[in-house]
Structures are given as structure tokens and as C-alpha cells.
Structure 1
Amino acid sequence: MNIKLRLTIVSFMQFFVWGAWLITIANYWFGTKQWDGAQFGLIFATMGFASLFMPTLTGIIADKWINAEKLYAILHILYAGTLFYIPQVDTPNEFFWIIFLAMCFYMPTISLSNSISYTTLKSAKLDVVKDFPPIRVWGTIGFIAAMWITNLTGSKANANQFYIAGISALALGLYAFTLPKCIPSKLLEEKATFAQKIGLDAFKLFANFKMALFFIFSMFLGGALQLTNAYGDVFLDEFKLFPIYAESFVIKYSTIIMSISQVSETLFILAIPFFLKRFGIKKVMVIAMLAWVFRFGLFAYGDPAGNLWMIVLSCIVYGMAFDFFNISGSLFVETSTTAKTRSSAQGLFMMMTNGFGAVLGSIVSGWMIQKYFTQAYTNIQSLAEHVGSATNDQHLLKFLGDKGISVLANGELSRGLEVKDWHNIWLSFTIYALMITVLFMIFFKHKHSRAEVAAIEEAIAH
């Protein structure tokens, strides 16, 4: 089989096994399990916790002791095993630890998949710069495909989403054993300290005020990156509580609507070279931050009926918000560090956004939403008053699902039905993103120059 086709399959499956549950897990947590919302933030924090140490450790292992493709295969098989176990979990605390274990297995495979692709393409005498991007874009397509399959099979609120991901991860793990060998390079110097080996030397960059500011802002913006992944789909799904929206397309296919964000991501990435050369790194990062402001603001005022265009536009804006900051930030690191510290600095950038930032955003948002923006209704009358006079027993029966009959019979919601004030939740996120943007514009000093354009062109070329 053509090597580029084989790597395309790996890229597609790499993100398929994540997309099958990442956007819809909130529906499982809040809808099926009806667990405490404050604890849900910790679930998305597991990605950040795992990103703090697992990619570095597995990178060392792949460099020194075991073929990268074999390590990649083993990690995906272990990831599949944890996914198969998730439906058996009955408590939020156990759920957290199982998801954390799954992320410890999965997160390192993202960088490993890139490493395998680079090594294999070079071994085949192919041009990495030319041939890798068309392969990588299939990863985003895989993520979209998984979202669609989860939604269209009626699995977005039940345990089947984990089985879809688990079966796919198992298949990918077995397939990875057949990939061309990526023999350990043993590039790490034996005399290097452990701190140097795991990239802690990069923290010396904090001695540079400009770099320190960049990493701090990266962390705070990283706190916003997972918010729509965590809450976007359940936000749309909870419109079903209101009879006027209950039968709308958006409610039935909320995950498909959310997938517009990933489609947008694949398109905006093509526009990055133009924006970087025309406006420079700082302005592109500001554009990305403003895009986050619009992403959250449009969600705040959107609904599945008259303001559906706001929800769609918010999903389109996501591509700019996500791509522009991640890539311009990576290029800033690339053009502002020496060859000796560059790799460690890139690792630190990822650690601050996907590690510390993701943990900060997930935990704080979960606590904030539960404490200030969630109302628990314990009887039918109070719930009916909330959703409006058009509510009737038949609609509530459908909304409450299998437990609806007993609930309507005694007029009580035994565990309490939690309803979130999504308008003010998204407004809070909007204000947060706007504050970060304004502070970044004021304090981060960086000028666009011909030298920067040349550096950007060289970085993009390589």
C-alpha cells in the first residue's frame, strides 16, 4: 500500500478515536448520569494533567528504547481498554480517574503520530514540508466523521460513544504494528541531566520578560480553548427543554452543527501565511483572541430558531480563533528562540496552553458554572415555570426520558433537574476573553518588521 495512504489512515483514525466522545461527553455526564456540574470541569482538566508529563516521557522512551510505531500501537490498545471500561463506572470520582488514565494513554499519541509520519516520509525520500500537511488535514476530517457518526447513531448521550471510540482505537493500535519501523534515534545525550531531558531547561526562558508575558498569556488563553469542546454540544442539546425548540434540527443534530467548527479549522489554516505576512505575529494573535470573544458572544445570543445564524457563525469563527493563535504562537516561539532551546520552548508553549491553561480553564469553569449559573428544580411546577407556559406533561415526559412516567406521577424530581443559565455563562466567557485581549494588546510589545516577515517565511518553509 502507498506509504502516504497508510499515514493518511493513521492521521484519520488518530483523531477519529478522540472525536467520537470529546464533544459529546458532557451529554453523557449531565444527561445520562446527571452528575454534579462542578466535577465535570475536572474531566476536561485530565487532558491538561496528562499533557504536563506524558508526551515528554513517551518521547524519551521512543527516542531511546522502543520503536515509535510499537509504542504508539501499545498506547492506543491501552486507551481502547479504558474506553471499554468507562460505561461500567457509576461514580464521578472513579469516572475522573478512568478518563485521566485514558488521557495518559492518548495524549502522547498525538505527538507520536507526527513523529512517525515525519520519520516514515523521510525514510521514503519524500518531502515532509510538501507531503505532511495533506496527510494531517485528514486528522481533522476524522474528528468530524466521528462526531457525525456519534450523532447519527443516536449515541451522543449514551455509552455507545465510548464503544465507537474504543473499537476504533483497538483497530488503530493493531494496524500501527504493521507500519514501517521507526527505530529509536537515541538522540538524547547520555550526559544530559534528567531536567534537560524532559525539557525543564525551557523554563529559563521566563527570565526574558517578553517571553514570560507570552507564555503567561498563552496559559490564560489556553483556559478558553477547551470551553466550547466541554460545553458546546450540551449547550445546544439543552434547548430541548423549551417546547419551542424541542423538535428543531439543531437539537437532533447538535454534534453535526458543532462539527462546523472543525470544518472551519481546515479552511482557516490555509489563510494563515497571508495574515502573518500582512499583519505580523502580534496582530494575528490579537485577531485570534478577538475571534474567541466573538465565538463566546455569538453563543450567548444564539438559539436554534431566529438566531441560528449566530450559532453557525460562532462555529465558523472557531477556526480562526483556534488556528490563528496556535500557529502564530508557535511561529513566535520559532522566531524568538535559538536552535538550542527551540524544541524545549515549543514544548513549553504546548505545556502552558494544553497543560496548565487547560487545567485552569476546566476546573475554574466547572466550579463557576455550578456555583453561579446552575439552578436545580425538584418539582414539575417550578420546572414548568422556568421553561414557559407552553410546557405540558407530554413534552416533559419526552424530555425526562425513561424516568418521566414516575416523575410525573408523584410530581417530584427525586435527584433534581439542573438547568444552566447558558446566556450568562457564555457572556462570562466573552468578558474573560475580551479582558485577555485588551491586556495582551497593552502589555505585549512586538513590532512587525521586514526581518519578522523573512523569519516567518523561513519558518513556514521549514
Structure 2
Amino acid sequence: MTVLRSRLGIMMFLQFFIWGGWFVTLGTFLAYNLEATGGQIGMAFSTQSWGAIIAPFIVGLIADRYFNAERLLGLLHLAGAVLLFALYSSDSFANFYPLVLCYMILYMPTLALVNAVSFRQMADPASEFARIRVWGTIGWIIAGLVISFVFSWDSGAAIEAGLLQHTFLMSAIASLALGLYSFTLPATPPRAERGTRLKEVLGLDALGLLKDRHYAIFFVASVLICIPLAFYYQNANPFLADIGMTNPTGKMTLGQLSEVLFMLLLPLFIKRFGIKRTLLIGMLAWSLRYLLFAFGEADGIAFMLLVGIALHGVCYDFFFVSGQIYTDARAGERFKSSAQGMITLATYGVGMLIGFQVAGWVTDYFATAGVTDWQAVWLFPALFALGVLLLFALLFRDRRSSLADDSAMTVSGTD
């Protein structure tokens, strides 16, 4: 079992090393290497959302019915390696965008596939999965540390020299390794019946949950809070690089470290304060982190920026993971899987798609002659998150009884 756990841990490590190896610095690369506008950067980041929208078709309609999960995982990562190498060679946004769109359509389904491979090898997924999944977070962290502290690709001089494009080459090599490695993983044959309905695969069976007024309020708030979330993914690294922070990508790994810590604390907060207050803490953290970004500086008050980065664990865990737990509790046994599919499609699909577009528009609006007014950019999501918080606080009613078994929660988040 220890050997199997190690093999699955290597799979998770490479899975998220690949993603963290280029996605964090994508905005900086596009702005400096390809001279992309804020709107174009938003389009590039939106490919994650298109991938999330299309992923259920690949996993639910193909992988679950016709192919072993580990084989499809290998094929997708081998194809991904080719696309990442093509991204490494791109010299214009016009060439870059269709390649990154194709890549994310192939990559996003692999997030579900690595989970499927893991779960099928476990006797007790509730207690075993976290020890496997944590290696994914470690992989993301190591990718950032390698970029900043081993190769220094995100330093000012290196960015100007175009060295940041090497992140795609590094990720291509890792994708090739995982593609080949996947074929050595334990067999994970399909289980689903081929007659399963499309609406069930996409989570649409769970739409009945929206008839509950308070769940509908939570659902809308989840979509809206994705707009501030998109600002972080899209603008944090370019912002830190632009204001002169040294090793910004490495320092952003503080967010993943805090995510691990607050994931452990989350059950205690839900039990002590209830789901509504826990969700409100998460939304308040989004507003606070952007205020810290708006008024922090790379020199004298850099600690404000570092605290803003470290708040990622509260921002993500206390709202998005808590939301998964709340959804699971409200869904009932029949619609548990469908409900998770629905909330994921709504947030990482529709919500993030809107969020990246808004972030691009706002960044372009506050950019003049190549100079971005970052304080104004960050104040927008800070105030937006605060507005969502106030509406949620007024309209949502905490129903503690809906979380009768906090210990039964399962976590399947992304970084």
C-alpha cells in the first residue's frame, strides 16, 4: 500500500507541477513577451473556464464509458506536452491563443481523471485521499520555487530577456513524463453505464436545489465571487513583477502553503461558527487581500503584499471548499455527484469565464501608455467582494441542521 500511495503521489505531484509551472506566470509572460492587452490576457485565462465547461463531456461521456482512466490520462498529457512545446515557440498572441485553448480543453479533464485513478485504488478514500492530494499542492509549490529561486525566470532582467517562455518548456517536459508514467499506473477501467443521461453527467439533475431560496442565494454569490477570484489568478503575478518584487512566483507559493493550513482548520470553523459565518469570513478575506494589494508596496510595506498572498488559504478554503461541503449537505444522497458537477460548472466554468473578462476590461481601463494604475485595479475587486458579502449577509439564512455531519466532508478543490 505504501508503494501504491507513493506512485499515486508522484502522479499528483506531476499533475499540479505542470499547471503551476506556467499558469501562475501566464499574465506576466503575455504582457511582457507578447505585449498582450488586458482583454487578451483575460481571453487567455478564460481558456481555463472553457476547459472546465467542456471537461464533463470528455470525462462523463467518454472516459467513464469507453476508456481506462489511466490510459486516457496518459494520452491527454502526451498531447499536452506537444501543445506546451508549441506555446514555448509562440511569438504572437494570435498564434498563442488557439494553442492555449486547445491545451486547457485537454488539461482540465485530467483533474478529474487523476482523482478517479486515486479513488479506485483506495479502500477508504475519505481518510486516504488527502494524503495523496497534498502532493499536488507540493508540486504546485515546487514549480513556483523552481521558477523563482532556481532559474530566476521571473526576475526583471530575465523577463525583459524573454526567459519566462521557458516555463512552457519545463511544463512540456513534465507533461511528457506524466504522459508516459500514466501507462504504468494501476488499471482503472470504466464503470458507468453507457446509457447515463447527459443532464446527469453535467450536474443538471441538481438544478432542483435552486428552488430553495437560500441555496439559490448561495449559488448566485458563488458565481459572483468568482469575479474577484479571477483578478488574483490573472493579475497577481504581473502586478508583483511590475512593482519590482523580487522572486514573485516563489513568494506566491505562500498562498498554497496557507491553503494546506486552513484546510485543516476549516472543519473547526464550520463546527464553531456555522456555515454562514465561515462563508462570510472567506468573502471578507477576498476584500481584505485586495485592499492590501492596493496599498502595499514592494519596498517599505512589502509585508502587506505577503499577507495578501498568504490570505489565499482563507479566501479559497473558507468560501469554495465550504461551498462544496454546503452543497453536498443540501443535495441529499441522490444528487450528491450531480450537485458538485453543477456548482463546479457554475463557478469554474461560467463564473470564472465572466471574471476573467471583467478583470481584463478593468485592467485595460486603468492602463495608460503602458503604465497600469494597480491601486485602482485592486480596489475594484475589493469593493465588489465587499458588496457580495453585504448582500449575502442580509439575504442568506444559516441552517446549521443542513450540515449534520461535518466529519463526512470531502474536498476536491484546485489551487
Find the aligned partners of 1:67 and 1:286 in 2 and give their Cα distance.
41
For the 8 Å contact 1:57–1:198, the answer to whether it is kept is: no
Change (3 A) 1:200 1:53: farther
Among 168, 181, 184, the alignment partner of 2:187 is 181
Q: Which residue of 2 aligns with 1:354?
A: 348
Tell me the CA shift for residue 189 of structure 1.
6.0
What secondary structure is seen at the aligned counterpart in 1 of 2:404? helix
Find the aligned partners of 1:310 and 1:5 in 2 and give their Cα distance.
38
Q: Which residue of 1 aligns with 2:167?
A: 161
Size of the alignment, in residue pairs? 401
Q: Which residue of 2 aligns with 1:32?
A: 33
Q: Which residue of 1 aligns with 2:81?
A: 80
Among 116, 125, 130, the alignment partner of 2:127 is 130
Find the aligned partners of 2:66 and 2:79 in 1 and give their Cα distance.
19
1:82-101 correspondence to structure 2 within 5 Å: 82-101=83-102
Q: Can you list the C-alpha shifts for 1:219-248, whole angstroms capped at 9, x where unaligned?
A: 1112222321211111011113xxxxxxxx
State yes or no: 1:363 paired with 2:360: no
Among 277, 288, 312, the alignment partner of 2:282 is 288
Among 259, 265, 268, the alignment partner of 1:274 is 268
Find the aligned partners of 1:202 and 1:313 in 2 and give their Cα distance.
38
TM-score (norm 1): 0.83
Q: Which residue of 1 aligns with 2:368?
A: 375
Q: Which residue of 1 aligns with 2:197?
A: 193
Among 198, 202, 207, the alignment partner of 2:206 is 202
1:308-387 correspondence to structure 2 within 5 Å: 308-370=302-364, 372-376=365-369
Tell me the CA shift for residue 452 of structure 1.
4.2
Q: Can you list the C-alpha shifts for 1:114-163, whole angstroms capped at 9, x where unaligned?
A: 111000123xxxx3222211111111110010011122313334210000
Change (3 A) 1:350 1:115: same
Q: Which residue of 1 aligns with 2:387?
A: 435
Tell me the CA shift for residue 310 of structure 1.
0.3
State yes or no: 1:457 paired with 2:407: yes
Find the aligned partners of 2:73 and 2:52 in 1 and give their Cα distance.
16
What secondary structure is seen at the aligned counterpart in 2 of 1:159? helix
Find the aligned partners of 1:206 and 1:115 in 2 and give their Cα distance.
28
Tell me the CA shift for residue 460 of structure 1.
5.7
Find the aligned partners of 2:56 and 2:168 in 1 and give their Cα distance.
23
What secondary structure is seen at the aligned counterpart in 1 of 2:371? strand
What secondary structure is seen at the aligned counterpart in 1 of 2:309? helix
Change (3 A) 1:189 1:55: closer
- Please, which moves more after superposition, 144-153 or 206-215? 206-215
Find the aligned partners of 2:334 and 2:211 in 1 and give their Cα distance.
16
Aligned Cα root-mean-square deviation (Å)? 1.7
Tell me the CA shift for residue 98 of structure 1.
1.1
What secondary structure is seen at the aligned counterpart in 1 of 2:397? coil
Q: Can you list the C-alpha shifts for 1:64-91, whole angstroms capped at 9, x where unaligned?
A: 1110000111111111111100133233
- Equivalent AA in structure 2 for residue 444 of structure 1: F
1:293-304 correspondence to structure 2 within 5 Å: 293-304=287-298
For the 8 Å contact 1:335–1:456, the answer to whether it is kept is: no
For the 8 Å contact 1:59–1:112, the answer to whether it is kept is: no
- Equivalent AA in structure 1 for residue 368 of structure 2: Q
Gaps of 5+ in 2: none
1:398-413 correspondence to structure 2 within 5 Å: none
Tell me the CA shift for residue 453 of structure 1.
5.1
1:47-58 correspondence to structure 2 within 5 Å: 47-58=48-59
Q: Which residue of 1 aligns with 2:146?
A: 149
Identity between Structure 1 and Structure 2 (%):
34
State yes or no: 1:117 paired with 2:118: yes
Find the aligned partners of 1:193 and 1:290 in 2 and give their Cα distance.
39
- Equivalent AA in structure 1 for residue 407 of structure 2: E
What secondary structure is seen at the aligned counterpart in 1 of 2:268? helix
What secondary structure is seen at the aligned counterpart in 2 of 1:21? coil
For the 8 Å contact 2:34–2:93, the answer to whether it is kept is: no
Q: Can you list the C-alpha shifts for 1:236-266, whole angstroms capped at 9, x where unaligned?
A: 11113xxxxxxxxx33x11111111111111
Find the aligned partners of 1:460 and 1:57 in 2 and give their Cα distance.
23
Find the aligned partners of 1:177 and 1:189 in 2 and give their Cα distance.
24
What secondary structure is seen at the aligned counterpart in 2 of 1:280? helix
Find the aligned partners of 1:458 and 1:35 in 2 and give their Cα distance.
45
Higher Cα radius of gyration:
1
Q: Which residue of 1 aligns with 2:24?
A: 23
What secondary structure is seen at the aligned counterpart in 2 of 1:23? coil
TM-score (norm 2): 0.93
- Equivalent AA in structure 1 for residue 152 of structure 2: G
- Please, which moves more after superposition, 211-220 or 431-440? 211-220
Change (3 A) 1:446 1:90: same
- Equivalent AA in structure 2 for residue 231 of structure 1: N
Change (3 A) 1:91 1:289: same
What secondary structure is seen at the aligned counterpart in 2 of 1:121? coil
Find the aligned partners of 2:87 and 2:135 in 1 and give their Cα distance.
27
1:215-226 correspondence to structure 2 within 5 Å: 215-226=219-230
Change (3 A) 1:120 1:90: same
Find the aligned partners of 1:302 and 1:11 in 2 and give their Cα distance.
34
What secondary structure is seen at the aligned counterpart in 2 of 1:52? helix
Find the aligned partners of 1:189 and 1:215 in 2 and give their Cα distance.
30
Q: Can you list the C-alpha shifts for 1:381-411, whole angstroms capped at 9, x where unaligned?
A: xxxxxxxxxxxxxxxxxxxxxxxxxxxxxxx
